C-alpha cells in the first residue's frame, strides 16, 4: 500500500514535470514529490540512504534522458523557426520589398499630389469665377449654389414673350442636362478624394504589413477598384445622356425647320390663291 501511494504521487508530479519547460522547476518538483512521498509514507530509519539514492536517480534522469529530449525539442523548434524565417518568409527579402514599396509610394505620391493640386482655373470675371470655384471645389455642400451661378454665367431660359415654346423647352432641357452633369462631376470629384485617401492608406499598410496579410490588402484593393469603376460608369452614363440630348436637340432643329418650311409653303400657297 505505501508503495502504491508513492507511485501515484510520483506519477502526478511527473506529469507536472513534463508540462513545464524550465529544468530547474522540473528538478524542484521532483525533489518535492520525493520529499512529500517520504513524509506521507514514512520509512524505517535505515531507509534514509534509500531516499537520497532515489533523489540522485531522479536528478540523473533529469540530466540524462529528459535533458536530451528537451534539447532535441529545442533543436527541432529552432530549425523550424529558421526554416520559416529564412526559406518561407525570408526576413531580409521582406524588409527589402517593404523599403522598395515605401520608396515608390513616396516618389509617386508626391508627383500625383502635384498633378492633382495644379491650379487650372481660368475664369476672370466675378460670376464665372464663382461658378468655376464651385465646379472645382470638390464640395458636395456647394451643389445647391451651382444653379444660380450657372444662370448668371450662361443666362436663364427666355420668357414666353421672348421665345416660342419649342425654343424655351429646348433651352430648359439643355441647361438642365448641363447642370446635372456638372453637379455629378462635383459629387464624383468628392468621391474620388475619398478613394485617393483609401489608396494612400492601402499603400501605407502595404509598407508595414506582416507576412501573410497580403490577401487581405489585395481584397481591400479590389474593393476600392470596384468602387472606382462604379464612379467611372456614372460619368460614362452622364456622357451618354449628354450625347443623347445633343442628338435630340439637332433632331428638334430639323423638325422645327421642316415645320417652318411647311408653314412657309402653306403661306405662299394661300398668298397665290388670294391673288
How many angstroms separate the CA atoms of 98 and 89, rounded? Answer: 13
Query: Cell numbers at residue 30, please?
Result: 521532483
| HSE-CB of 49 using CA atoms within 13 angstroms | 1
- Helix 23-40 crosses helix 2-18 at what angle (to 10 degrees)? 170
Mutual angle of helices 214-274 and 165-208, in 10-degree steps: 170
Sequence-distant (≥ 6) Cβ neighbours of residue 70 within 8 angstroms = 21, 23
Q: What pTM was computed for the model?
A: 0.59
Q: Give dist(CA 30, CA 59) in Å, integer.
A: 8
Across the range 160-167, mean pLDDT stands at 87
Rounded to an integer, what distance in angstroms lies between the CA atom of residue 135 and that of residue 178?
A: 12
User: 66-99 pLDDT, tens per residue?
Assistant: 677 777 888 888 888 878 777 777 777 777 877 8
* 238-257 residue pLDDT tens: 889 888 888 888 888 888 88
What is the predicted pLDDT for the residue at 45?
Answer: 47
Q: Which candidate, 145, 111, 140, places its Cα nearest to that of 127?
A: 145
Predicted pLDDT of residue 184 = 92
Whole-number pLDDT of residue 132? 92
In terms of C-beta distances under 8 Å and separation of at least 24 residues, what long-range contacts does 175-183 make, across chains too?
A: 175/150, 175/151, 177/241, 177/242, 177/245, 178/150, 178/154, 178/242, 179/146, 179/147, 179/150, 180/238, 180/241, 181/238, 181/239, 181/241, 181/242, 182/135, 182/146, 182/150, 183/143, 183/146
CA–CA gap between residue 137 and residue 144 (Å, rounded):
13
Amino acid at each position: 500500500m505505501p508503495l502504491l501511494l508513492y507511485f501515484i504521487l510520483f506519477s502526478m508530479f511527473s506529469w507536472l514535470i513534463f508540462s513545464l519547460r524550465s529544468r530547474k522547476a522540473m528538478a524542484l518538483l521532483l525533489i518535492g514529490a520525493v520529499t512529500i512521498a517520504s513524509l506521507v509514507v514514512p520509512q524505517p530509519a535505515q531507509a534514509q540512504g534509500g531516499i537520497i539514492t532515489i533523489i540522485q536517480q531522479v536528478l540523473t534522469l533529469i540530466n540524462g534522458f529528459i535533458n536530451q529530449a528537451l534539447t532535441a525539442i529545442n533543436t527541432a523548434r529552432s530549425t523550424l523557426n529558421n526554416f520559416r524565417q529564412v526559406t518561407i518568409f525570408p526576413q531580409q527579402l521582406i524588409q527589402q520589398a517593404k523599403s522598395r514599396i515605401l520608396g515608390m509610394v513616396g516618389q509617386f505620391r508626391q508627383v500625383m499630389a502635384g498633378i492633382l493640386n495644379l491650379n487650372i482655373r481660368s475664369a476672370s470675371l466675378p460670376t464665372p469665377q464663382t461658378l468655376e470655384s464651385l465646379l472645382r471645389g470638390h464640395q458636395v455642400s456647394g451643389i445647391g449654389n451651382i444653379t444660380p451661378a450657372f444662370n448668371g454665367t450662361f443666362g436663364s431660359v427666355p420668357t414666353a414673350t421672348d421665345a416660342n415654346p419649342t425654343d424655351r423647352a429646348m433651352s430648359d432641357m439643355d441647361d438642365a442636362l448641363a447642370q446635372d452633369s456638372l453637379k455629378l462631376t462635383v459629387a464624383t470629384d468628392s468621391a474620388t478624394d475619398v478613394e485617393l485617401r483609401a489608396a494612400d492608406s492601402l499603400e501605407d499598410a502595404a509598407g508595414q504589413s506582416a507576412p501573410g496579410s497580403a490577401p487581405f490588402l489585395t481584397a481591400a484593393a479590389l474593393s476600392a477598384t470596384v468602387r472606382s469603376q462604379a464612379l467611372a460608369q456614372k460619368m460614362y452614363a452622364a456622357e451618354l445622356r449628354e450625347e443623347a440630348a445633343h442628338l435630340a436637340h439637332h433632331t428638334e432643329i430639323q423638325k422645327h425647320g421642316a415645320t417652318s418650311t411647311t408653314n412657309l409653303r402653306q403661306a405662299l400657297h394661300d398668298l397665290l390663291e388670294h391673288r
